[in-house]
């Protein structure tokens, strides 16, 4: 869908007029193009004193990726990113120097630049001082995201379970946050655990070669609700990354489903995901046509918005059946089949986190997705797999295009990035989470919302 306002304030006479009137000017976000550089300029790596060994390790990795890395600010740089390493900070005063150094270069941060923090998660055994500094970094990242301009973003990697700063999954996450693939991910902190030993052979994050462009080569992925919108974008992005894609949707969407399937060179499965045997039929199709199943993306979903006082039983039941119960049933059937290394990503929503007026049914179902993802994660991990969720905010789709104009414009301007996201933004997050390099991320929810909600 088109955001005409954003286009207008970034071109021609209307751009000049918007400047003079002081109108909001959402940036044209930098999105992924094959062969484009990782960042839009040099990367400044800064740290507190105790975190310097981790900062040195990350700087060496960035150099290996062909990035221009600096360790001290210079007046002549137009910074593509700042990587702020705070893994060793033990008391609140430890972060002051590194944080203020970061602040000193923000006016020289390039459009679509990045600030990425690397820190450690709080644990039950932390001292009050240590817990304070680690929790403080959370709000620092989110607050900074609200200050940045021109499409720049602020996100954080939070290391858990003694994960090293240069662990393969941590490096993959750093690469994702620095890249144009994270264009609409802003103000988010992603917990990252150690890469499981069985997955270390897939350390694609450390080498910017063919594997980085096609990390899913040889894998078979299923995407439900693939006929159009976000589902179609996910199918196309997974295919771009090398996967063979099974596109699933209801028979009524057959024509659109065929179009998506042809575009990705995959196979189509007309199926109502609420069917009792949906998971079994998905697995049978994948094995019969492609010999295996490696990835499942639960994208199928519906809305039946209505104030609870006016809601009919059918409106509640249909949303829960499609958005939540179907995912639970399919996951149970696939896990029972003993699939090894299965990567599951479920589409949640920011409505499942903050709620939405007229969306008690939708919010319940999407919060349920977050809940079952966390509970499914250890079950998937037992077989060498992962289960994660992606929570989109306002994404420009046919569905959001039906929202009344004034409401739609308000929704677009609420995020820190002052615009709606594109279906490909959700697809990029999904593709990252199902990649072998993200094996140390499990049971997490990654919001793709341009920092849409107050405090989030």
Active-site residue list: 362
* 419 class by beta-carbon count within 10 Å (0-12 exposed, 13-18 middle, 19+ buried): buried
Closest among 117, 132, 134 to 190, alpha carbons compared: 117
Q: Quick one: three-class SS letters along the chain?
A: CCCHHHHHCCCHHHHHHHHHHCCCCCCCCCCCCCCCCCCCCCEEEEECHHHHHHHHHHHHHHHHCCCCEECCCCCCCCEEEEEEECCCCCCHHHHHHHHHHHHHHHHHEEEEEEEEEEEECCCCCCCHHHHHHHHHHHHHHHHHHHHCCCCCEEEEEEECCCCCCCCHHHHHHHHHHHCHHHCCCCCCEEEECCCCHHHHHHCHHHCCCHHHHCCCCCCEEEEECCCCHHHHHHHHHHHHCCCEEEEEECHHHHHHHHHHHHHHCCEEEECCCCCCCHHHHHHHHHHHHHCCCCEEEECCCCCCCCCHHHCCHHHHHHHHHHHHHHHHHHHHHHHHCCCCCCEEEEECCCHHHHCCCCCHHHHHHHHHHHHHHHHHHHHHHCCCCEEEEEEECCECCCCHHHCCHHHHHHHHHCCCCCCCECHHHHHHHHHHHHCHHHCCCCCCEEEECCCCCCCC
* Both tokens assigned to 28: 């044209």
């Amino acid at each position: 869908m088109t955001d005409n306002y954003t286009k207008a304030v970034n071109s021609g006479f209307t751009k000049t007029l918007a400047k003079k009137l002081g109108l909001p000017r959402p940036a044209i976000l930098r999105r992924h193009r094959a062969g484009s550089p990782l960042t839009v300029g040099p990367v400044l790596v800064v740290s507190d004193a105790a975190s310097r060994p981790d900062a040195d390790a990350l700087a060496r990795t960035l150099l290996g990726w062909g990035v221009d890395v600096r360790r001290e600010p210079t007046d002549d740089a137009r910074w593509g990113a700042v990587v702020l390493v705070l893994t060793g900070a033990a008391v609140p005063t430890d972060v002051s120097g590194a944080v203020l150094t970061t602040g000193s270069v923000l006016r020289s941060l390039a459009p679509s630049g990045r600030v990425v923090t690397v820190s450690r998660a709080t644990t039950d055994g932390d001292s009050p001082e240590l817990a304070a500094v680690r929790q403080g970094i959370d709000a620092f990242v989110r607050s900074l995201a609200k200050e940045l301009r021109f499409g720049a973003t602020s996100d954080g990697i939070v290391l858990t379970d003694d994960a090293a700063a240069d662990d393969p999954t941590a490096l993959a996450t750093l690469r994702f946050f620095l890249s144009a693939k994270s264009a609409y991910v802003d103000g988010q902190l992603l917990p990252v655990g150690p890469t499981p030993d069985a997955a270390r052979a897939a350390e694609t994050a450390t080498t910017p070669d063919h594997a980085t462009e096609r990390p899913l080569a040889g894998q078979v992925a299923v995407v439900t609700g693939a006929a159009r919108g976000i589902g179609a974008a996910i199918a196309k992005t997974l295919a771009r990354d090398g996967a063979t894609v099974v596109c699933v949707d209801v028979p009524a969407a057959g024509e659109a489903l065929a179009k998506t399937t042809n575009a990705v060179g995959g196979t189509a499965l007309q199926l109502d995901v609420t069917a009792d045997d949906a998971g079994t039929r998905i697995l049978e199709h994948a094995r019969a046509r492609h010999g295996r199943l490696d990835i499942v993306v639960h994208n199928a979903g519906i809305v039946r918005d209505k104030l609870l006082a006016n809601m009919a039983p059918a409106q509640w039941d249909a949303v829960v059946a499609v958005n939540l119960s179907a995912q639970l049933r399919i996951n149970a059937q696939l896990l029972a089949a003993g699939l090894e290394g299965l990567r599951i990503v479920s589409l949640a929503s920011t409505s499942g986190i903050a709620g939405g007026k007229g969306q008690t049914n939708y919010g319940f179902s999407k919060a349920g997705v977050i809940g079952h993802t966390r509970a499914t994660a250890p079950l998937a991990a037992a077989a060498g797999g992962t289960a994660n969720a992606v929570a989109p905010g306002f994404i420009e789709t046919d569905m959001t295009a039906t929202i009344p104009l004034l409401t739609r414009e308000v929704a677009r301007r609420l995020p820190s990035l002052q615009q709606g996201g594109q279906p490909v933004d959700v697809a990029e997050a999904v593709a990252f989470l199902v990649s072998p390099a993200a094996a140390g991320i499990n049971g997490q929810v990654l919001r793709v919302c341009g920092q849409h909600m107050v405090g989030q």
